Amino acid sequence: MLNLAMLLESSAQKYPSHLAVIFNETRLTYAQLNGAANQLANGLRALGVKRGDKVALSCPNIPYFPIAYYAILKVGATVVPFNVLFKPREVAYHLKDSDAVAMIVFEGTPELPMAQMALAGFQEVPTCRHLIVATANPAAPPPVEGEGVTTLGRVMAGQPPVFDTVQTMPDDTAVILYTSGTTGSPKGAELTHANMVLNAIATRDMVNFHRDDVALTVLPLFHSFGQTVLMNTAFTCGATITLLPRFTPDAVLGIMQRDGVTIFAGVPTMYWALMNYPDAEKFDLAKIRSTLRLAVSGGAALPLEVLKGFEARFEVPILEGYGLSETSPVACFNQLDRPRKPGSIGQPIWLTEMRVVDPADPEHKPLPPGQVGEVVIRGHQVMKGYYKRPEATAEAIRNDWFHSGDLGKTDEEGYFYIVDRLKEMIIRGGFNVYPRELEEYLMTHPKVSLVAVKGVPDEKLGEEVKAYIVLKPGETATAEEILEYARQGLASYKYPRYIEFRSSLPMTATGKILKRELVDEG
């Protein structure tokens, strides 16, 4: 028997008075956090939520997230985290697709009225019986009204802070994470209690996470990276997470200084923003550097120029890793006890196998070092499957290997390198062009700050290469200047024929560049 909530319970037993969560002035010990989760678990059970049910959770990085997350697990139910930016249509789709019987949502803010969005979606799904609104003031009435609507405060009121956690099995589904998918409707990856527990333990041991660590948690907890690598991993060893709902360089540096942060995890655009932040010197950078021992990057490929620039400014190593929602998420990592190779995602983690294969090879024979193919994975972290989608599951997991959809290669020492997404590869006149290679090169231009490269339709060649460029503050450049630089360093079939300057690039809530939203202006 195994329940992911045991990570919290074990640390609450061992370190009851140790700080579990910091959120501005709010500080919760392990005993307090576990007690609040127990109260909510009792309240959910009183509403009829039981083992095997699905409960949606839409909440930014505030203490309500871990309280609700572990409470749902304690009753034996499955957590279905929602992106906090969902509109009513998306709320309705995910509630229906996941068969959720209840939804817990933070009330939101005037700029982001989450409860109103949730209510509009909830009312379209009769099978979802309860909408529980977490109000900033627990005693406040719900900001929205309707049948089945109540508040988290009311559900927890009068409930005892002890709860006998339901004993789930290792292969029961703990979390359903929806993958946005570049095509088609989002699919729910079913991650088991064993998937999530083993991934947290493997991550803890790999980065030497310990009780005295303070991890800055600005990656959204509704996403697998923040959920596993920060929250669940910290709670395996009694460490502290300090929560930040929205990334700004100012807020991140302020919390690093205030809380003595030892571990920072982010996506490449966060490192880029911190590296380029002009007002960093107003903080005590010496103090920040004295406690910060490790930075972790994932979610997308980290450009080498960003890695070098950040490490030089903050004097801390960045370990780059790799994973997907379908792999709980961590599959591969640069590890502390082995040489780190900038530009590489390292080697497979504990009890994990990875290969680079020809996508058409049913036997999954590994390709020789240096040859580009699809990255496939097998190990404890691979999902059970896509919820209610046997065909999609059979397509993704073939002969026990999970197909990542990422193009990669290995070197002679078994380190892995991600070349690009299989679907983002540009085929220009029969030649394969990998956008990431071009992005890496163009970012070495002294005036260039950020780049996204994608293919655009072309009558003659099928696809042509286009680069969207964000310049460094105060810089000006012409398209011809950038093209000339590209021609100097890239083969003639690779370099972009089109250049468009942008003041910013569209990004997801988790900081990934949204290439599909890059359309021609004018």
CATH number for the domain that contains residue 131: 3.40.50.980
- Asked if 173 and 28 sit in the same domain, the reply is yes
Asked whether residue 215 is assigned to any structural domain, the reply reads no
User: What mean pLDDT comes out for the span 50-60?
Assistant: 98
Query: What confidence tier does 184 reach under pLDDT thresholds 50, 70, 90?
Result: low
* Residue/partner pairs of 386-392 with CB below 8 Å, 24 or more apart: 386/187, 386/188, 386/189, 386/190, 387/97, 387/98, 387/173, 387/176, 387/187, 387/188, 387/189, 387/190, 388/97, 388/188, 389/187, 392/187
User: In this predicted model, which residue has the larger pLDDT, 141 or 521?
Assistant: 141
Q: What percent of the chain has pLDDT over 70?
A: 98
Specify the pLDDT at position 181: 53
Q: What percent of the chain has pLDDT over 90?
A: 86
Three-state SS sequence of 128-165:
CCEEEEECCCCCCCCCCCCCCEEEHHHHHCCCCCCCCC
Q: Which of 160, 191, 222 is the last residue of a domain?
A: 191
- For the chain, what is the domain count? 3
Handedness of CA 64, 66, 72, 77 (dihedral sign): positive
Asked whether residue 49 is assigned to any structural domain, the reply reads yes
Preceding peptide of 329 cis, ω within 30°? yes
Specify the pLDDT at position 425: 84
- Per residue in 207-240, pLDDT tens? 999 999 999 999 999 999 999 999 999 999 999 9
CATH number for the domain that contains residue 388: 2.30.38.10
Specify the pLDDT at position 519: 79
Single-letter amino acid, residue 193? H
- Asked if 460 and 399 sit in the same domain, the reply is no
- Per residue in 264-278, pLDDT tens? 999 999 999 999 999
Asked whether residue 326 is assigned to any structural domain, the reply reads no
- Per residue in 410-433, pLDDT tens? 999 999 999 988 888 898 987 888
Q: Do residues 438 and 465 make contact, with C-beta atoms less than 8 angstroms apart?
A: yes
Q: Is the pLDDT of residue 183 over 60?
A: no
Cα dihedral 494, 496, 497, 500 in deg (nearest 10): 170
- Asked if 360 and 498 sit in the same domain, the reply is no
Cα distance between residue 242 and residue 25, in whole Å: 11
User: In this predicted model, which residue has the larger pLDDT, 479 or 185?
Assistant: 479
Helix (H, G, I), strand (E, B) or coil at 84: coil
Asked whether residue 352 is assigned to any structural domain, the reply reads yes
- Asked if 35 and 173 sit in the same domain, the reply is yes
- Asked if 370 and 483 sit in the same domain, the reply is no
Asked whether residue 230 is assigned to any structural domain, the reply reads no
- Asked if 25 and 149 sit in the same domain, the reply is yes
Specify the pLDDT at position 521: 61
Cα distance between residue 196 and residue 296, in whole Å: 19
Q: What is the residue-averaged pLDDT of the chain?
A: 95
Going from the C-alpha of 169 to that of each of 2, 184, 191, 327, 517, the distances in angstroms are 5, 32, 12, 19, 41
Q: Which of 402, 423, 444 is the last residue of a domain?
A: 423
- Per residue in 291-346, pLDDT tens? 999 999 998 888 889 999 999 999 999 999 999 999 999 999 999 989 999 889 99
- Asked if 405 and 432 sit in the same domain, the reply is no
- Asked if 415 and 430 sit in the same domain, the reply is no
Specify the pLDDT at position 317: 94
- Asked if 407 and 455 sit in the same domain, the reply is no
User: In this predicted model, which residue has the larger pLDDT, 461 or 116?
Assistant: 116
Strands 19-23 and 26-29 come out as antiparallel
Q: Which of 423, 457, 485 is the last residue of a domain?
A: 423
Lowest-pLDDT choice from 136-140, 393-397, 511-515 = 511-515
Asked whether residue 232 is assigned to any structural domain, the reply reads no
Handedness of CA 334, 335, 336, 339 (dihedral sign): negative
Return the closest-CA partner of residue 467 out of 510, 489, 459.
Answer: 489
Domain encompassing residue 178: 6-191
| CA geometry: angle 308, 311, 313, nearest 5 deg | 105
- Asked if 33 and 62 sit in the same domain, the reply is yes
Specify the pLDDT at position 522: 43
CATH number for the domain that contains residue 471: 3.30.300.30
Predicted structure pTM score: 0.89
- Asked if 18 and 61 sit in the same domain, the reply is yes
Single-letter amino acid, residue 160? P
Specify the pLDDT at position 300: 80
Single-letter amino acid, residue 148? G
Specify the pLDDT at position 180: 65
Specify the pLDDT at position 182: 46
| CA geometry: angle 477, 483, 489, nearest 5 deg | 120
Asked whether residue 339 is assigned to any structural domain, the reply reads no
Asked whether residue 238 is assigned to any structural domain, the reply reads no
- Asked if 69 and 162 sit in the same domain, the reply is yes
